[in-house]
């Protein structure tokens, strides 16, 4: 163990001056990811389809001390992914960190779900993750200084669900497969590829589970019997794991899903 490390072990988590991209930056986790990285000193490209929302998040990132660029595009095509990468290269000199915080779910029992809805979920969660990871890996390899790719998994990539999650569970299992495959494929390049796997955390899609009405209380009480920490998650609960995966601290950690789930998948 080096003397330099012993004198400043917190330097392992230092992302000051790094260039980061956050897709899905207007979502609950994407907002926390962008603000966490900016507050830690990184420069951030925020990407999503909501221009006004992106401008507001970029302004908050700047107040926290980081530079910020806005790209009002989702990673739905090679052209869009190239535009997102270009913004980071032009604005900040390259790409060091990618956080894929975008995605969606369309809940429906399989006997009722339309094939196009299944394909929409797979496109948003799998194909778009693959496309932006591909564009980012190309740029990182050209730079020759390694990098960090963080995908968005879920406890539902590991566990099933009885309430119409066949598309979502399939998509997150696929994200896990991409994470493991790219962890192996890119390991020798200095690029780490990992995923965050939360369980239920507060967002517009899950706000009903936090409500104090009869439905929210009933579903929440049943769910929490499986969560050792005894509460639902908050977006902020993902900030620490994200900083680990985005920093030098995780240099020997790749191809893994880090479950930030209050112990849900341990039971």
In order of 18, 109, 152, 184, the CA distances from 194 in angstroms are 18, 30, 9, 11
The helices-and-strands tally (H runs, E runs) of the chain is 10, 7
Per-position b or e across 27-50, b if 16+ CB within 10 A of its CB: bbbbbbbbbbbbbbebbbbbbbee
Task: Centre a 10 Å sphere on the Cβ of residue 59 and count the other Cβ atoms it contains.
Answer: 12
Contact 21, 97 (CB under 8 A): yes
d(CA 127, CA 5): 39
Which value, to the nearest 10 degrees, does the dihedral of the CA atoms of residues 261, 136, 25, 60 take?
Answer: 110
C-alpha closest to that of 30 among 10, 9, 49, 11: 49
Catalytic residues: 168
End-to-end Cα, the chain, rounded Å: 36
d(CA 132, CA 121): 16
139 contacts: CB under 8 Å, gap ≥ 6: 85, 88, 89, 94, 95
């Amino acid at each position: 163990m080096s003397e330099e490390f012993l004198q400043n072990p917190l330097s392992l988590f230092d992302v000051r001056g790094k260039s980061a991209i956050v897709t899905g930056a207007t979502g609950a986790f994407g907002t926390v990811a962008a603000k966490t990285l900016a507050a830690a000193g990184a420069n951030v490209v925020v990407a999503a389809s909501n221009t006004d929302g992106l401008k507001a998040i970029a302004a908050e990132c700047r107040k926290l001390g980081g530079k910020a660029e806005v790209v009002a595009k989702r990673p739905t095509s090679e052209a869009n992914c190239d535009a997102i990468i270009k913004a980071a290269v032009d604005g900040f000199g390259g790409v060091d960190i990618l956080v894929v915080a975008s995605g969606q779910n369309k809940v429906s029992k399989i006997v009722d779900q339309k094939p196009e809805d299944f394909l929409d979920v797979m496109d948003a969660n799998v194909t778009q993750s693959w496309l932006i990871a591909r564009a980012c890996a190309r740029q990182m390899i050209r730079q020759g200084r390694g990098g960090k790719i963080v995908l968005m998994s879920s406890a539902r990539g590991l566990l099933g669900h009885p309430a119409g999650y066949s598309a979502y569970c399939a998509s997150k299992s696929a994200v896990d497969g991409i994470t493991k495959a790219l962890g192996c494929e890119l390991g020798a390049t200095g690029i780490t590829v990992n995923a965050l796997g939360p369980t239920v955390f507060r967002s517009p899609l899950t706000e009903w589970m936090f409500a104090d009405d009869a439905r929210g209380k009933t579903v929440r009480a049943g769910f929490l019997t499986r969560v050792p920490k005894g509460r639902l998650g908050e977006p902020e609960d993902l900030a620490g794991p994200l900083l680990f995966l985005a920093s030098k601290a995780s240099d020997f950690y790749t191809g893994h899903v880090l479950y930030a789930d209050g112990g849900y998948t341990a039971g």
